[in-house]
């Protein structure tokens, strides 16, 4: 008995020591400041900006990162997906270079990341309010940087309300860029489901087929939301290269871990990212609203240039549905761009091509490089 107790104490002591060491490592990697832009001499580049700031928008405190090599550049509001799951940690990891040609605002939407707060109610998490927040953030950026208009780029789960904001206040924007533009997400989920089921059947992966068949989305729409929220969907999409990135196979290694080692966040802010994703968002109706909303019907016309970026292998948000939407969308200038090495995130997978299109097409209000 004494030996058993002694061994348990040793194991407990080791576990406590390991946890303490982990906390220390995380604290060291959580100073909570984005990296500055520096020259070859290690000095901050004159006229550059790299800061984390907070403003009141929609009656709640909301956070953002402001970054750019020159504050004289055009301003770009980058709206992440989710819902309410910021991806600045991927910006920090892959450094796609948007800040070379723009002053970029990486706004973190209410209820997520820097903007997670007890003041945010589940009821306030809806597309109408998020669109209103986006417009308020836009007004802040216009005043802060002295611009009449700015550019807006939205990704995936951010696109339904971002395009709604662009439709409501076109006078504030030079152009709208939708990356993995959502249209009718219920239809997209069914197309992805059929593809995954087919692929696993062809390869003889019976376990994966069995897991997918627990969510018979083709038989009844009531299975779509449970499927969307399931680990099965996420795991399968990444295994088959149709998820976040074509070559991203492990959500744990490539998403969960990088959040904890992104130095732009404090430890508390990192905890808030996961608290929001696994606890708070479940209390909202955002996902249900996503599947109930027909974006092409809701926004049939925009008064500004529109550009859609889609990865060839993206089935998280179906590429073909996005292209079909752009064909029918009324706008003064339109451009659809397929990224042939990408899945859901061309900005991280093919950043050179993204920046080329932004500089040569978007900034010049043309579509010469479109499909």
Query: What value does the mean pLDDT take over residues 109-117?
Result: 94
CA distances (Å), origin 222, targets 81, 95, 227, 291:
23, 40, 9, 11
Q: Are 309 and 319 in contact (CB under 8 A)?
A: no
Strands (E), the chain: 49-57, 60-68, 75-79, 103-107, 150-155, 173-179, 306-311, 334-339
31 or 13, higher pLDDT: 31
Check whether 180 has a pLDDT greater than 50.
Answer: yes
The model's confidence at residue 173, banded by pLDDT at 50, 70 and 90, is very high
The model's confidence at residue 132, banded by pLDDT at 50, 70 and 90, is very high
What is residue 83's predicted lDDT score, i.e. its pLDDT? 81
What is residue 276's predicted lDDT score, i.e. its pLDDT? 92
Query: What value does the mean pLDDT take over residues 203-226?
Result: 96
Check whether 3 has a pLDDT greater than 80.
Answer: no
Query: Which is nearest to 176 in space by CA: 85, 296, 79?
Result: 79
Check whether 23 has a pLDDT greater than 60.
Answer: no
What is residue 12's predicted lDDT score, i.e. its pLDDT? 58
What is residue 26's predicted lDDT score, i.e. its pLDDT? 57
Backbone angles phi, psi at 107, to 5 degrees: -80, 135
Q: What span, in angstroms and rounded, lies between the C-alpha atoms of 73 and 27?
A: 34
Read off the pLDDT of residues 224-247 as tens digits, 9 standing for 90 and up: 999 999 999 999 999 999 999 999
Q: Are 222 and 325 in contact (CB under 8 A)?
A: no
Please provide the distance, in angstroms rounded to a whole number, between the alpha carbons at the two ends of the chain: 74
Query: What value does the mean pLDDT take over residues 61-76?
Result: 97
CA distances (Å), origin 43, targets 36, 67, 219, 307:
9, 16, 61, 37
The 3-state secondary structure of 312-335, one letter per residue: CCCCCCCHHHHHHHHHHCECCCEE
What is residue 42's predicted lDDT score, i.e. its pLDDT? 87
Place of tokens 């989710």: 82
180 or 22, higher pLDDT: 180
Half-sphere exposure of 80 (CA within 13 A, CB side): 27
Q: Are 349 and 246 in contact (CB under 8 A)?
A: yes
Q: Report the predicted TM-score, pTM, of the whole model to 2 decimal places.
A: 0.93
Q: Which of 5-19, 129-143, 260-274 has the lowest mean pLDDT?
A: 5-19
Domain boundaries 49-185+257-362, CATH class: alpha beta
Check whether 17 has a pLDDT greater than 60.
Answer: no
Q: Which of 25-29, 45-49, 54-58, 340-344 has the lowest mean pLDDT?
A: 25-29
Query: Which are the contacts of 262, defined by CB distance < 8 A and separation ≥ 6?
Result: 29, 88, 89, 92, 93, 270
Place of tokens 């030079």: 174
Tell me the pLDDT of the chain averaged across its residues: 93
Please give the full DSSP string across 113-166, using - where no structure is assigned. GGG--TT--GGG-SHHHHHHHHHHHHHHHHHHHT-S-EEEEEEGGGHHHHHHHH
Domain ranges of the chain: 49-185+257-362
Q: Which of 9-18, 135-144, 298-307, 339-348 has the lowest mean pLDDT?
A: 9-18
């Amino acid at each position: 008995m004494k030996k058993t107790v002694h061994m348990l104490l040793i194991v407990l002591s080791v576990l406590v020591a390991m946890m303490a060491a982990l906390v220390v490592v995380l604290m060291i990697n959580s100073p909570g400041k984005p990296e500055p832009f520096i020259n070859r001499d290690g000095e901050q580049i004159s006229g550059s900006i790299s800061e984390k700031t907070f403003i009141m928008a929609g009656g709640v405190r909301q956070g953002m990162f402001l970054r750019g090599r020159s504050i004289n550049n055009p301003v770009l509001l980058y709206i992440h997906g989710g819902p309410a799951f910021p991806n600045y940690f991927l910006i920090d990891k892959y450094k796609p270079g948007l800040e070379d040609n723009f002053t970029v605002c990486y706004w973190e939407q209410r209820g997520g990341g820097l903007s997670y707060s007890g003041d945010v109610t589940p009821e306030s998490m809806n597309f109408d309010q998020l669109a209103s927040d986006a417009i308020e953030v836009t007004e802040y950026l216009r005043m802060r940087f002295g611009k009449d208009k700015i550019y807006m780029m939205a990704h995936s789960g951010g696109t339904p309300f971002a395009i709604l904001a662009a439709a409501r206040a076109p006078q504030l924007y030079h152009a709208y860029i939708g990356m993995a533009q959502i249209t009718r997400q219920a239809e997209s989920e069914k197309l992805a489901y059929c593809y995954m089921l087919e692929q696993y059947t062809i390869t003889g992966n019976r376990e994966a087929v069995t897991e997918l068949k627990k969510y018979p989305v083709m038989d009844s729409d009531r299975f779509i939301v449970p499927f969307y929220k399931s680990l099965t969907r996420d795991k399968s999409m990444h295994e088959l290269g149709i998820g976040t990135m074509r070559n991203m196979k492990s959500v744990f290694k490539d998403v969960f871990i990088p959040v904890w080692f992104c130095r732009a966040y404090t430890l508390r802010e990192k905890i808030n990212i996961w608290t929001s994703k696994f606890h708070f968002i479940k209390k909202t109706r955002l996902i249900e609203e996503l599947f109930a909303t027909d974006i092409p019907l809701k926004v049939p016309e925009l008064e500004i240039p529109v550009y859609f970026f889609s990865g060839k292998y993206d089935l998280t948000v179906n590429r073909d549905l996005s292209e079909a939407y752009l064909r029918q969308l009324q706008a003064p200038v339109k451009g659809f761009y397929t990224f042939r090495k990408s899945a859901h995130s061309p900005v991280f997978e093919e950043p050179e091509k993204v920046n080329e299109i932004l500089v040569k097409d978007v900034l010049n209000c043309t579509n010469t490089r479109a499909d």
